[in-house]
Amino acid sequence: MPAHLKQLFMLCLLLLAACGGGTEAAPPTPTLSPQAQTGKQVFSRVCGACHSTSPDTIIVGPSLAGVATRAETRVEGQDAYTYLLTSVMQPDAYLVQGYENLMPNNLSKELTGEELDAVVAYLQTLK
């Protein structure tokens, strides 16, 4: 193959590689696990009237943006999962400073076990 054709051939290969690589390098869209996805639906149905997931947006209850991170240190001796589950099962066990005890305390009876697990799994994604 003459040298200039060889160069052209290499250029084509490079271009192809560049384009192919470009689409592969796009970051994957973060997706929720099927359980957290179910939890998100439970959340909008049962909790969304009082809680926003946008930062600093107070409805009746505090914004739950970043709650998974706060939950790690909210109550001494409780890990994030325990704190979040307790927040739903027994909302008056710990009251967020500046808020009244307005969260319904019958949610643990209104939701199925699966819905509870799912909503807590969803809360754990709000880092």
Point out which residues bind ligand HEC (CB under 6 A). 46-47, 49-51, 60-62, 64, 67, 70, 74, 84, 87-88, 91, 95-96, 99, 101-104, 107, 119, 123
Output the smallest distance, CB 11 to ligand HEC, in A: 57
User: In one letter, which amino acid is 108?
Assistant: S
Interatomic CA distance for residues 127 and 124, integer angstroms:
7
Q: Which is nearer to ligand HEC, 25 or 63 (CB)?
A: 63
Output the smallest distance, CB 31 to ligand HEC, in A: 21
Output the smallest distance, CB 30 to ligand HEC, in A: 21
Residue in 86, 97, 77 with CA at minimum distance from that of residue 123: 86
Residues whose CB falls within 8 Å of the CB of residue 123, separated by 6 or more in sequence, listed in order: 39, 43, 64, 67, 68, 71, 84
Q: Which is nearer to ligand HEC, 52 or 70 (CB)?
A: 70
Structure tokens at 28: 């994957």
